[in-house]
Amino acid sequence: MAVVLNQTFLKLKYPNGLEVAEMLSLDNSKIEEIDPNAFKGVDAIRELNLNVNRLKSLDLSMLASMKQLQKLFVGWNQLESVEISNGTDTFDELVELRLNTNKLTKLDTKMFAKMRGLEKLALNYNSLASLDPATFAALTNLRELSLDNNELVSLEPKVFYHLSHLTSLWLDHNKLIALDSSLFANLKHLNNLSLRDNQLSTFGSSNFTSLK
């Protein structure tokens, strides 16, 4: 029988209630589904840990009532899709999102537009083969981006253009063949870049002319 995260599940796990709780840890709970109303009334949470479960999809709209949510961890699941189904939902307080070690092959280009305060984003250990140029356009406050251990073969020249505050970028263990000379053009604060274990055939100083 599938383990469904719902209000009954939460009441059994936290019999004293969660009305004022700031951290909710549900990692390693074998959760396969989340009821859309599971978090109704759970409004004070700042950190939600759903690591090491069995989720195959995630609709972030079910977390929209958590207006103070700052950190969301959903690594080590089986996620194939992540979306925000309600176009009016926003996650303005979210500063850290970890979706590492899942089965993502593509990203919803509109999703990150609802997370303009995001500073840390982990997408490593997925199966991403390409990235839409607009994927990260709204993430102007992003500091750390992990894209290592994916299936990336190429990167659009402007995919990182709006990440002007980025300090760390991990691209190692992909299948990158070449890098456009303007790829890092606007990353004025980048001081940690990892490109190990790719298939780069040419690697010139022109790729890094904009970096300190």
Local confidence band at 149 (pLDDT 50, 70, 90 cut-offs): very high
Q: Which is higher by pLDDT, 55 or 19?
A: 55
The fraction of the chain above a pLDDT of 70, given in percent, is 94
Cα 189 from Cα 210, distance rounded (Å): 10
Query: Rounded mean pLDDT of 125-132?
Result: 97
Q: What is the pTM of this model?
A: 0.94
Q: Which is higher by pLDDT, 147 or 18?
A: 147
Query: Rounded mean pLDDT of 49-63?
Result: 97
Report DSSP state, residue 52.
S
Cα 68 from Cα 194, distance rounded (Å): 33
CA pseudo-torsion sign 136, 140, 141, 143: positive
Q: Which residue has the tokens 């959760």?
A: 31
Local confidence band at 167 (pLDDT 50, 70, 90 cut-offs): very high
3-class DSSP state of 8: helix
| Cα torsion through 184, 186, 188, 194, rounded to 10 | -20
Which pLDDT does position 1 carry in this prediction?
A: 67
Which among 98, 42, 99, 96 has a CA at the least distance from the CA of 71? 96
Which pLDDT does position 17 carry in this prediction?
A: 86
3-class DSSP state of 61: helix
Look at residue 206 and tell me whether its pLDDT is greater than 80.
no
Which pLDDT does position 211 carry in this prediction?
A: 56
| Cα torsion through 106, 138, 69, 25, rounded to 10 | 30
